Amino acid sequence: MNPAEWDWQTGKKTVADAGKWRNIFAHVDALYVSPDGETLAAVVQTEDLLFSVCENGRIWESRFDKISCLRFSPDNRAVALVSKEGLWTVAASGNLWANTYEFVWNLHFSAAGKSVIVAAVYQGRYLAVSDGVPWSDGFFSLSHLTVSPDGRSVAAVVQTVPLAAGDLAAFQKGCYTAAVNGRPWDMNFLNVWEMRFSPDGRRLAAQVRSTLYDYTIAVDGQPWAVHFASVWRPRFHPADGSVTAPVRVAGLWTLARDGEIFWDKRFVQLWHHQYTPDGRHIAAIVAPKFGVWTVAVDGRPWALTFNELVTDLAISPDGNRVACVGKTDGRWHVAVDGKPWDGDYDMVWPPVFSPDSRHVAAKVEKNGRFTIVVDGRPLKFEFQKAWEPVFSPDSDKILVKGMDDVNGIYTRRVVALPELSV
Amino acid sequence: MTKPPAKARPHFADEGIEKGVQKLTGESITPVIRDILKTEGGARLKVYMETCAHCGLCSEACHHYLSNDRDPKYSPAGKVRQTIGEILRKKGAVSPGFIKTACEIAFTECNLCRRCVMYCPFGIDVAYLMLFVRRICHRLGVVPQYIQDTAHSHAATLNQMWVKEDEWIDTLHWQEDEAREEIPGLRIPLEKEGAEIFYSVIGPEPKFRAQLIYQAAVIMHVAGMNWTMPATPGWDNSDMCMYTGDFEMTARLKKAHFETAMRLKTKRIVMGECGHAFRSVHDVGNRFLGWKTEPLPVVHAIQFYYELFRDKKLTVKQKFDQPVTLHDPCNVVRGAGLHELARYIIHETCDRFIEMHPNREHNYCCNAGGGVINCGPPFTKKRVTSNSVKAEQLKAVKAKGANIIIAPCHNCHGGLEDIIKHYDLGMEIKFLGDIIYECIKKT
C-alpha cells in the first residue's frame, strides 16, 4: 500500500455504474471499493446461476459455485474465497491459488497487502495458508488467525490434543496452544485467545488461561509468573519489547507490563489500549465508573464521557492526539483530544488521522445518507453509500469515495482540504 | 396429626460433581468460600439473607416444591437455607459432602426462573442466591459434567456447541442454498458492514436446528430487512457460563458478541427465540463488562416479529388453523415483559388461541431453564418428575383443545418436549418463527 502512487489530482472521477450491473446480473451482492478508490467490485450471479466477481464492470473469467467473501487487499487487489465443485481456494484479481481445500475462511492481509492469508481445512486437519502455501502440519482445530505486520509470520490458536465429548479432565489439562508458522508452542493451556505479534513479527503474545480461574499473558509460549482474574488482549511496546495487557485485580481493571502492575489507576473496565508510535504514551478505552465510558491517556481519563460506549480508538501518527467514537443516549459521536464534535449521528466509522496529525476524518451516517466529516465539519457531499476516507500523503487532500445517487454511480473525489465547506 | 417422615433427597450420579468433590477437603473449601464471601458477597447478599423471614410464601411459587409433594426441602427458602444459609452460618467451614448436595440443589433444583421473587413480600431474588451458590461451586471445581463441558465449549470456541469456525460459515451457506431453492434471490448476508441488523443465534441452531436459520432468513428477506450474520466467533449469543458461575467467561462471551456487532457497524442486535441468551446479553453479561444497559439495542425475536407485523412488513397468507397455546418463557416474560407482544403475534398468525393457566409472568417454568437441562441425562428423570405441575397445566390446556404449544425459547422447547414425552401428553411444540414462516406471504 503506497498512497503516494495514487492519483491525488483534485476533482471528481466517475469510476463505475453499479446500477447497470443490476440489469445485467441476476444478483449483485454488497459493493466494495479498493483503498485507492479506483475500483468498485461486487460478487455477482451470472446467467448460468454461478457466481463471479465484477470489477468496474468487467467480470472475472472464472465462475464459482460459491463466493463466501470478497475484500480488497491494501494493495488494491480484489480477493475472494471461492468454491468450485465443493472445494475451496482463494482468487486474487481472478487468479486462483493452485491448491484447494475442504474449506477456507478468515481472509487476512499483511499491512502492505502483499500477503494473503486464510484459515483452511485440508483432509480434516486445520491449518493456515499464506499466499497459497499451507502449513506443513494441521491441527484438530484452529482459530484466532493472527498475521504479523509484514505478513511473514502467521499465528493461530490450535488444538494439539484430541478431546472427547464431556472429557472435563482432558480439557482442564490443556488441549490448546498457539502455533506460529505451523509450529506449536511447547506448553498447552486450557485456552488461548486473541494474540498479537511484536512490530517486527518475531515474537507473539497471547491471552491464556492455565486453570479455570487463572488468566495471564504468555509471550512466545512462556506465561507471566503472575495470574489475574481475567486479562484482555496484550500489546508489544513499539521499541523496547515489553508487553502490556489489561488485567483484572480485585474486581477492577488496570494495565500490567511484563507481569507487573503498570498503571496505578483502577477502572471498572479497560481495554483496547494502544501505544503512541514512539511508545512514550498509552491510550485506552476505559470505564472510570459503572456505565461511564471515556478514553484514558497514561491512566488519566478524559473529562468527556459517554453513557453507552466508546469504540474505535485512534492515535495520531505524531502521537500527540487521540480520537474515538462514543455513544450517548443512542446517538453516535466523534471525540478528539477529549472534545466532542458538534454533530451526532446514526452511526460513525473509525476516525482517521492525516499523516501530519493535524486533521481527523470519519465516515458518518444520518437518516440513511452518508457523508465524511473532517475536523467536525461535514463535507457538502452526501451519498447513498460511502467508504472510509483516506488523506493524501502530504495531508493537504482527502480521498472521498461515494455513490452519489440512487442509480448506483460510484465516484472518486479528491478534495483539497482548504476547499472543504459546511 | 403425625408429621410424615421427611423424604431423603434422591441421589443422582454425575461425573462432574463426583470427581470435583473427590478433590476437596474441608481445609481446601473454607478459604475459597471465605474469599468469595469477602470479595463478592456484598450488600445484596447480606440484605437478602438478613431479610428473609422464612414465611414460606415463596413455596407455592416453585414448581419443584409443588411437584415434590410440597416437600419443604424444595421450597425456595428451604433451598436457600440448605445452601448459602448453611455456608454463612458455618462461615464457609463446610464439608465436601455438603458441597456435593449444595451443588445438586443449586444446579438442578432451581431454574433461576424468579417466579418466587414475585411471591416474596420483600422481593428477595432467590435466583441471585442460588447463582451465588453456583459461583462457589464453580470456584471449588464442582459443577455437573454436561454443563461444565458446555462452559468449556464456550471458552474454546466462543459458542455453546463446539461449533468450529468453518462449520458455522458452512452451515449458513447450506441454509442459504436450501432457502434459495424456495426463494431464488434470497441471501444470508455474511459480514455485511453497515447493515441495520446483526442477527444472532444460539449454538444449538447451527448444530441441531439449522432450519430456524433458514426460516429467519426467509422472514428477513420477505420483510426486506437490511441484515447480516458474522463469519467470525461472536455470532453465538448464548451463555451457559452465566449459569455455571464462571462470570469471567460470561464477560468474555458478551464482549465478543457486542464487539462483533460494533465491528460490523450494525445498529442493533436481533436475537433468535432464546430466553437465557436474552438474559445474558440484555441484563447480565453487559453489566459484568461495565455497560449499564446494552451498548447497542438488543431486540428479542418476539419484539422483532411484533415490529414486523405492526409495521406491515409481513402479511399473513393464511392463518395457522389449529388451536394453539403459549408457554411464556421466564427470561423474556418475567425478565423483560414481552408477553403481550407474543400474544399480538399469535393473534396475527393463528386462528384460535387458548391461554394456559397460570400464564404471562405467573407461568410455570419449563424446568429446563437456568442451565438445568444443560446438566444433561443424569438429571433428566429428576427434571421431568420435578415438574408434574407443568404437565398438569399442559393437560388442562390440551383438554380445552390446544395441541400446539408455542414456546419462543430453545430451552423451553427441550424441557417441554421431555415433559410431553414423560407424561405422554401427545402435544407438539413450535417456535413463533415456525408459525410465521408457515403463514406469511412469501412473494
pLDDT at A338: 98
Is the domain of B401 the same as that of B349? yes
CATH code of B223's domain: 3.40.50
- The verdict on residue B310 lying in a domain is no
The residue from B271, B299, B327 where one domain ends is B299
Which of B149, B157, B255 is the closest to A165 by Cβ?
B149
- The verdict on residue A16 lying in a domain is yes
Type of residue at A56:
N
- The verdict on residue A375 lying in a domain is no
Q: For chain A, what is the domain count? A: 1
pLDDT at B9: 79
Count Cβ atoms within 10 A of the Cβ of residue B294 and give its class: 0-12 exposed, 13-18 middle, 19 or more buried. buried
How confident is residue B7, by pLDDT bands cut at 50, 70 and 90?
Answer: confident
- The verdict on residue A365 lying in a domain is no
- The verdict on residue B376 lying in a domain is yes
Kindly state whether B246 is in contact with chain A, defined as any CB-CB distance less than 8 angstroms. yes
- The verdict on residue A50 lying in a domain is yes
Dump pLDDT digits (tens) for B123-132: 999 999 999 9
Q: Flag if B170 and A176 touch (Cβ within 8 Å).
A: no
pLDDT at B1: 47
- The verdict on residue B324 lying in a domain is yes
Kindly state whether B169 is in contact with chain A, defined as any CB-CB distance less than 8 angstroms. yes
Q: Flag if A30 and B192 touch (Cβ within 8 Å).
A: yes
- Nearest CA to A80 out of A55, A112, A111 is that of A55
C-alpha A142: how far from chain center: 19
Q: Flag if B194 and A347 touch (Cβ within 8 Å).
A: yes
| pLDDT, mean of residues B156-169 | 98
- Work out the number of other CB atoms within 10 angstroms of the CB of residue A272: 19
Q: Which three cell numbers stand for residue A391?
A: 488523506
Is the domain of B221 the same as that of B117? no
Q: What are phi and psi of B190, to 5 degrees?
A: -95, 135
Query: Which residues in chain A are contacts of B184 at CB distance < 8 A?
Result: 26
pLDDT at B5: 61
- Residue B372 · residue B383 · CB < 8 Å: yes
Kindly state whether B145 is in contact with chain A, defined as any CB-CB distance less than 8 angstroms. yes
Kindly state whether A309 is in contact with chain B, defined as any CB-CB distance less than 8 angstroms. yes
- The verdict on residue B152 lying in a domain is no
Is the domain of B183 the same as that of B275? yes
Question: How far is the CA of A307 from the CAs of B55, B112, B254, B255, in angstroms?
Answer: 41, 30, 18, 17
Q: 3-class SS at A216?
A: strand
CATH code of B57's domain: 1.10.1060
Dump pLDDT digits (tens) for A109-163: 999 889 999 999 999 999 999 999 999 999 999 999 999 999 999 999 999 999 9
Is the domain of B102 the same as that of B205? no
Query: Which residues in chain B are contacts of A290 at CB distance < 8 A?
Result: 287, 290, 292
Q: How far apart are CA A236 and CA B391, in angstroms?
A: 59
Dump pLDDT digits (tens) for B251-281: 999 999 999 999 999 999 999 999 999 999 9
Give A 57-116 residues with CB within 8 A of chain B.
66, 68-69, 102-103, 105-106
| Residue pointed to by grid coordinates 414481552 | B338
Q: Select from B252, B254, B289, B298 the residue whose CB has the most chain A CBs within 10 Å, as the one to mutate to test that interface.
A: B252
**How many degrees, rounded to 5, is the angle at CA B254 between CA B45 and CA A232?**
95
- Residue A313 · residue A284 · CB < 8 Å: yes
Q: Flag if B246 and A212 touch (Cβ within 8 Å).
A: yes
The residues facing B271 across adjacent strands are B200
0.90 cut: is pTM over it? yes
- The verdict on residue A361 lying in a domain is no
CATH code of A317's domain: 2.140.10
Q: How far is B115 from chain A (nearest CA, A)?
A: 28
Is pLDDT at B307 greater than 90 in this prediction? yes
Closest-CA residue of B relative to A190 is: B156
**How many degrees, rounded to 5, is the angle at CA B278 between CA B179 and CA B436?**
35
- The verdict on residue B309 lying in a domain is no
Dump pLDDT digits (tens) for B28-39: 999 999 999 999
User: DSSP secondary structure string, A388-421?
Assistant: EEEE-TTSSEEEEEEE-STT-EEEEEEEEGGG--
Q: How far does chain A reach from its first CA to its final CA, in angstroms?
A: 31
Q: Flag if B166 and A190 touch (Cβ within 8 Å).
A: no
Is the domain of B29 the same as that of B128? yes
- The verdict on residue B149 lying in a domain is no
Kindly state whether A406 is in contact with chain B, defined as any CB-CB distance less than 8 angstroms. no
Dihedral in degrees, nearest 10, Cα atoms B300, B302, B308, B314: 130
The residues near A321 (Cβ < 8 Å, ≥ 6 apart) are: A315, A336, A337, A353, A357, A360
Q: Select from B21, B136, B152 the residue whose CB has the most chain A CBs within 10 Å, as the one to mutate to test that interface.
A: B152
Is the domain of B198 the same as that of B289? yes
Is the domain of B104 the same as that of B174? no
Q: How far is B376 from chain A (nearest CA, A)?
A: 11
Q: Flag if B296 and A105 touch (Cβ within 8 Å).
A: no
How confident is residue B185, by pLDDT bands cut at 50, 70 and 90?
Answer: confident
CB-side exposure of B438: number of CA atoms within 13 Å? 14
- The verdict on residue B153 lying in a domain is no
Kindly state whether B207 is in contact with chain A, defined as any CB-CB distance less than 8 angstroms. no
pLDDT at B11: 78
**How high is the ipTM of this complex?**
0.98
Q: Flag if B291 and A69 touch (Cβ within 8 Å).
A: no
Q: What are phi and psi of A212, to 5 degrees?
A: -60, -15
pLDDT at A422: 41
Which of B152, B189, B290 is the closest to A171 by Cβ?
B152
> Whole domain around residue A238: which residue ranges?
3-327
Question: How far is the CA of A376 from the CAs of A293, A393, B293, in angstroms?
Answer: 21, 21, 28
The residue from B114, B143, B172 where one domain ends is B143
In the predicted model, what is the mean pLDDT of chain B?
96
Q: Flag if A347 and B191 touch (Cβ within 8 Å).
A: no
pLDDT at B26: 85
Q: Flag if A290 and B292 touch (Cβ within 8 Å).
A: yes
The residue from B143, B172, B190 where one domain ends is B143
Report DSSP state, residue A346: S
| pLDDT, mean of residues B321-350 | 98
User: DSSP secondary structure string, B18-87?
Assistant: HHHHHT--HHHHHHHHHHHHHHH--HHHHHHHHH-----TTGGG-HHHHHTTT-GGGSHHHHHIIIIIHH
Q: Which three cell numbers stand for residue A340?
A: 466532542
> Whole domain around residue B427: which residue ranges?
318-433+435-439
Q: For chain B, what is the domain count? A: 3
- The verdict on residue A217 lying in a domain is yes
Is the domain of B294 the same as that of B322? no
**How many degrees, rounded to 5, is the angle at CA B186 between CA B182 and CA B187?**
135
Interaxial angle between packed helices B26-40 and B96-108, expressed in degrees from 0 to 180 and rounded to the nearest 10: 50
pLDDT (tens, 9 = 90+) of chain A, 422 residues, equals: 689 999 999 999 999 999 999 899 988 988 999 999 999 999 999 887 899 999 999 999 999 999 999 999 999 999 999 999 999 999 999 999 999 999 999 999 999 889 999 999 999 999 999 999 999 999 999 999 999 999 999 999 999 999 999 999 999 999 999 999 999 999 999 999 999 999 999 999 999 999 999 999 999 999 999 999 999 999 999 999 999 999 999 999 999 999 999 999 999 999 999 999 999 999 999 999 999 999 999 999 999 999 999 999 999 999 999 999 999 999 999 999 999 999 999 999 999 999 999 999 999 999 999 999 999 999 999 999 999 999 999 999 999 999 987 778 999 999 999 766 44
